[in-house]
Amino acid sequence: MHTVLIIDDERDIIDSLSGILEDEGFAVLKATDGKEGLAIFEREKPDVVLLDVWMPELDGIQVLKKMRGKRDDAKVIVISGHGTISTAVEAVKMGAYDFLEKPLSIDKVLEVVSRGIGAAGKHDAGTSDFRLEVSPGLTMTKQKTIGKSTVVYGLGLHSGVKTGMILLPMPENTGIIFETIPDGERIPAYIDYVFSVGYASSVKGKSSVVRTIEHLLSACHMYGVTNLLVKVSEEVPIFDGSSIEICKKIDEAGIVEQADGIEPLVITEKVELGSLQNGKYLMAEPCDAFEIDYLLEQTKPIGTQQYRFRGGLSDYIADIAPARTFGFLKDFEQLTRMGLGTGGRINNFIILSEDEVINTKLRYDDEFVRHKVLDLIGDIYLLNRPIIGRITARQTGHVENIALVKELKKRFL
């Protein structure tokens, strides 16, 4: 029988959680303050700890630090009635296994506790009935998740707010899921939940929106990550304007190949978007691998740039992931007037005048087209599965990318 220790100064919370966990077959230990909880933790060595942040004398973060000092493998789930992304990020960075917000959801508590004891899949918190669709096939590849939780900090590009993001492993067939803090709503990173596009791709649930998801999805696409929980506020951090920092965090967490497979979307016929304006063109066609051929034609200082990406993870990390978001100063000023783009700073956004790059040195001579490829790789992964086919693009952005994803889903899924 697995043992769960609950440490909370609210007796009602302890009683409610105890009843739920005991009904599910767990042995439950209880403490109403940090000192008592630490003593029980050392004596009984529970499998999982549910630890409240806000307690008198010794608060939850202090207790967490002491627990991690005594047992590095302790599965401590921090809970808080005043949850913010900064509190969640701090807790996980200090070694918490996960973070839950009050009022607690029974399903989420059971799901996280089950994951903590290695019984993932026994309980499912649910995400609007979304499940990653799996069908047998000759070209099936293994599903993947990350090896451990990891945290990252940064600014939101459009909000300008200092924020963070927590990436957590998830079981097979979950898909990539965003969970917003503090309200706890879960939104699948799937085409059916796309809310708005233009300057960035966003997904929307019943009451929450998560913005600027394309760089994270781009990295997940190339690492083959199919199952992931992303705890975030309202926007994925922009970091340096590329996806290289996300790649580094995924490398730190490691990749775990899972038992179940996922059938790639294989493009078996030409799919061409019609009626695109201003010289734009977007087409997908059969190919024996995933390939993108992008042509970017702009005025100075960009000019005409073309890039063909046909490679694996190492090619992506070397040639695509470091390419940064860019825009003209006049557009940047317009974004600011719209209340967007306020997180674009000297180190995370390439700003162009009519004649030159004005705030940084380019990482590649053709960094602009490479970033367009990065965005397309991310938007295409809103199908949450590998793609086998060639995509040819000219002058397109998120709006056209999303239109293609919808058409691919209709044709091939």
Active site residues: 398
Cβ atoms within 10 Å of 351's Cβ, excluding its own? 17
* Cα(108)–Cα(204) distance, integer angstroms: 20
Q: Rounded to an integer, what distance in angstroms lies between the CA atom of residue 343 and that of residue 388? A: 35
Rg value, the chain, Cα = 23
* Residue whose token pair is 């397309």: 376
Exposed/middle/buried for residue 10 (C-beta within 10 Å: 0-12, 13-18, 19+): middle
How many residues in total does the chain contain? 413
Task: Quote the CA–CA distance of 252 and 70 in Å, as a whole number.
Answer: 23
Gap between the Cα atoms of 177 and 300, Å rounded:
40
Amino acid at 159: S
Ranges of beta strands (E only) in 335-382 are 350-352
Helix-then-strand count for the chain, H and E: 11, 22
Contacts of 247 (CB under 8 A, 6+ apart): 219, 223, 316, 317, 321
The three state secondary structure string of 280-293 is CEEEEECCCCEEEE
Q: Are 211 and 203 in contact (CB under 8 A)?
A: no
- Rounded to the nearest angstrom, the gap between the alpha carbon of residue 349 and the centroid of all alpha carbons in its chain is 21
DSSP conformation letters of 201-213: --EE-SS-EEB--
Angle at 82 between CA 33 and CA 209, to 5 degrees: 145
d(CA 70, CA 90): 19
DSSP string, 207-261: S-EEB--HHHHHHHHHHT---EEEEESSB---TTSSSHHHHHHHHHH-EEEEEEE
The Cα–Cα gap between 102 and 183 comes to: 9
Which single residue is written with the structure tokens 């399903």? 107
